[in-house]
């Protein structure tokens, strides 16, 4: 069936055609032939679209504007820019997926060491691993998994899934050694199993909206409870050991979710509540370097126990996600990634260097590599979006286009 169209003149030699049916059809022209409709960025609502640049086709969830007449120079320039945009889109997705490698290498040594201690009967050694901190990280991974599943960011969702699984393996080893209470592990296992199943069903379109909202409400309340409690516990014994922060946050979180679901909040308020799970998970991970640096400040000798390779892997894993977060203009993702890259990975490498715990060449290589990578990401992103300055990309990230 032929597509119904509506033409609108734009200039002396160009016009735009609105295809209304079918959605997957192409409009062949003398200058443009079969422009592909590919994913460039995805909004929080899950609908796919492309960035609105002057060289790219304008895509919405309902209709697509396709340039149908242009001069030869305009046509070749437009196709060149579309190709550059799509290539960087593909590369950023690959970089995001490649973050699995350093993140897995972060957990594998701990898993292997725990297994060796268990087989040797040295269960006491596993008590050095803080199960409460691991559990907090597990909840953060689950929240971000749901966030990226909703955005259809497959590579980032896989990273979070592997984070959930590897952390759960460590928790199971701690439970076998008696370092983690069994009831907590059983509850965590149930949440992990349910979370992975629900996220998989939602990603493939097999889950009802009602069940997904219930899951989102659960991780929102859980994240809002855990975050202030973890932040408070960091400064114990300088502050009294109390569960008041977590309890207070729980009451506020339940009230906010209830008001959002019963129509007591404005549309902006509902959107704010729905974004809380992702932001609380991000803030949990952002708090990790703060906690580590506070520990380094209180006990400078403990920094010798940090591995420079571990910090480098952390910097690499988070750094690989920066180009994708910037490309799709995801402020939350970019904030968490750049914070962890600079303050957890590179920040601890700097502390190790100042404490003479790592070589000057290692520190210099890490510094040069980090600066070069961030510079490359900004340059390629600005080129892909047709900007003359990388600061334009940062402006769009923070304030929108």
Number of domains comprising the chain: 3
What pLDDT was estimated at residue 13?
41
Backbone angles phi, psi at 60, to 5 degrees: -125, 180
What pLDDT was estimated at residue 45?
40
Q: Is residue 9 situated within a structural domain?
A: no
What pLDDT was estimated at residue 14?
41
Q: Is residue 180 situated within a structural domain?
A: yes
> Domain check: are 195 and 270 in the same one?
no
> Domain check: are 328 and 367 in the same one?
yes
Q: Cα–Cα distances in Å, from 25 out to 66, 106, 198, 263, 341?
A: 11, 46, 33, 39, 43
145, 160 Cβ separation under 8 angstroms: yes
What pLDDT was estimated at residue 226?
84
Report the distance separating Cα 390 and Cα 320, nearest Å.
Answer: 18
Residue 50: exposed, middle, or buried by beta-carbon count in 10 A (0-12, 13-18, 19+)?
A: buried
Q: Is residue 6 situated within a structural domain?
A: no
Report the distance separating Cα 212 and Cα 46, nearest Å.
Answer: 13
> Domain check: are 226 and 184 in the same one?
no
HSE-CB for 396 with a 13 A CA cutoff:
20
Other CB atoms within a 10 A radius of the CB of residue 252 amount to 14
Q: Is residue 70 situated within a structural domain?
A: no
Q: How many residues does the chain have?
A: 401
Domain that holds residue 334: 300-400
Report the distance separating Cα 42 and Cα 60, nearest Å.
Answer: 11
HSE-CB for 141 with a 13 A CA cutoff:
23
Question: Which domain-ending residue is among 207, 236, 266?
Answer: 207
Q: Is the dihedral of CA 187, 190, 191, 193 positive or negative?
A: positive
Other CB atoms within a 10 A radius of the CB of residue 392 amount to 16
Among 272, 327, 328, CA closest to 42: 328
Question: Which domain-ending residue is among 269, 298, 327?
Answer: 298
Task: List % helix, strand, coil for the chain (3-state, nearest 5).
Answer: 70, 5, 25
> Domain check: are 147 and 256 in the same one?
no
**SS3 label, residue 18:** strand
Residue 43: exposed, middle, or buried by beta-carbon count in 10 A (0-12, 13-18, 19+)?
A: middle
Question: Which domain-ending residue is among 156, 184, 207?
Answer: 207
Report the distance separating Cα 315 and Cα 107, nearest Å.
Answer: 14
> Domain check: are 114 and 160 in the same one?
yes
> Domain check: are 154 and 245 in the same one?
no
- Locate 60 and state its tokens: 């919405």
> Domain check: are 156 and 96 in the same one?
yes
Q: Is residue 44 situated within a structural domain?
A: no
Q: Is residue 7 situated within a structural domain?
A: no
> Domain check: are 199 and 99 in the same one?
yes
> Domain check: are 308 and 379 in the same one?
yes
Backbone angles phi, psi at 41, to 5 degrees: -150, 155
Among 80, 68, 74, CA closest to 14: 68
* pTM given for the model: 0.69
CA angle 135, 205, 41 (to 5 degrees): 80
Q: Is residue 380 situated within a structural domain?
A: yes
What pLDDT was estimated at residue 21?
40
Mean pLDDT of each 10-residue bin along the chain, 401 residues long: 43 41 40 40 39 37 42 60 89 92 85 87 79 81 90 90 91 90 91 94 92 91 86 82 90 92 87 85 78 71 74 92 94 91 90 88 96 95 90 90 66
């Amino acid at each position: 069936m032929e597509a119904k169209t509506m033409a609108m003149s734009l200039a002396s030699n160009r016009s735009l055609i609105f295809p209304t049916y079918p959605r997957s059809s192409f409009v062949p022209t003398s200058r443009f032939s079969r422009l592909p409709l590919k994913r460039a960025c995805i909004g929080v609502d899950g609908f796919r679209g492309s960035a609105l640049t002057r060289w790219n086709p304008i895509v919405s969830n309902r209709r697509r504007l396709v340039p149908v007449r242009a001069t030869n120079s305009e046509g070749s320039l437009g196709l060149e820019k579309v190709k550059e945009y799509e290539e960087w889109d593909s590369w950023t997705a690959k970089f995001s997926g490649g973050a699995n490698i350093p993140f897995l290498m972060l957990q594998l040594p701990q898993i292997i060491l725990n297994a060796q201690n268990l087989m040797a009967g040295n269960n006491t050694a596993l008590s050095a691993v803080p199960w409460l901190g691991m559990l907090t990280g597990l909840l953060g991974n689950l929240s971000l998994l749901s966030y990226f599943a909703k955005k259809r960011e497959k590579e980032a969702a896989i990273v979070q899934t592997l984070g959930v699984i590897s952390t759960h393996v460590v928790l199971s080893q701690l439970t076998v050694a008696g370092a983690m209470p069994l009831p907590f592990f059983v509850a965590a296992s149930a949440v992990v199993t349910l979370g992975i199943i629900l996220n998989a069903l939602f990603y493939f379109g097999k889950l009802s909206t009602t069940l997904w909202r219930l899951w989102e409400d659960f991780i929102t309340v859980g994240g809002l409870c855990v975050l202030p409690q973890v932040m408070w516990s960091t400064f114990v014994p300088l502050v009294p050991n109390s569960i008041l922060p977590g309890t207070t946050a729980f009451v506020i979180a339940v009230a906010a979710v209830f008001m959002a679901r019963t129509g007591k909040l404005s549309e902006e308020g509902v959107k704010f509540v729905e974004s809380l799970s992702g932001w609380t998970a991000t803030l949990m991970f952002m708090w990790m370097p703060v906690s580590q640096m506070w520990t380094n400040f209180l006990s400078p000798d403990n920094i010798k126990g940090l591995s420079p390779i571990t910090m480098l892997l952390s910097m690499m894993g988070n750094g690989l996600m920066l180009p994708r977060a910037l490309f799709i203009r995801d402020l939350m993702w970019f904030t968490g990634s750049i914070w962890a890259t600079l303050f957890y990975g590179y920040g601890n490498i700097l502390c190790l260097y100042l404490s003479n715990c790592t070589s000057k060449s290692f520190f210099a290589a890490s510094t040069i590599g980090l600066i070069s990578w961030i510079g490359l990401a900004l340059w390629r992103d600005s080129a892909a979006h047709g900007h003359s300055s990388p600061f334009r990309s940062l402006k769009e990230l923070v304030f929108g286009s």
